[in-house]
Amino acid sequence: MPAKWRGSANEGIVCTNSTFFARMSLQYIKVVLLLSFRKVYIFMRNDILHILEIIKLGERLKLELRHSWLSNGRQESVAEHTWRVSLMAMLIEPLLKKQINTSKLLKMIIIHDLVEAESGDIPAFNTMANPKLKEQKALNEVKAIERIREMLGDGLGTELYNLWFEFERKETYESKVANALDKLEAQIQHNEADFSTWLEIEYKMSFMMDKHVGFDPVLKELKDIIEEDAEIKLKRAGIDVGQLKKNMA
Q: Tell me which of 31 and 95 has the higher pLDDT.
A: 95
pLDDT in tens, 8-54: 555 555 555 566 555 656 666 665 556 565 655 566 888 899 999 99
pTM comes to 0.81
Q: For the chain, give every domain's residue range.
A: 1-53, 68-248
- Alpha carbon 208 to its chain centroid, in Å, reads 25
Write the DSSP assignment of 58-106 as a string of letters.
HGGGGTPEEEEE-TTSPEEEHHHHHHHHHHHHHHHGGG-SS---HHHHH
The domain 68-248 is placed in CATH, from the list 1.20.950.20, 3.40.50.300, 1.10.10.10, 1.10.3210.10, at 1.10.3210.10
Q: How far apart are CA 59 and CA 68, in angstroms?
A: 19
**Cβ of 89: how many Cβ atoms within 10 Å?**
24
Mean pLDDT score, 199-221: 96
Q: By mean pLDDT, which of 7-16, 101-110, 175-184 is the weakest?
A: 7-16
Helical spans, DSSP H, in the chain: 3-58, 78-92, 102-114, 116-119, 124-128, 131-152, 156-169, 173-192, 201-205, 210-213, 217-236, 241-248
63 φ, ψ to 5°? -100, -25
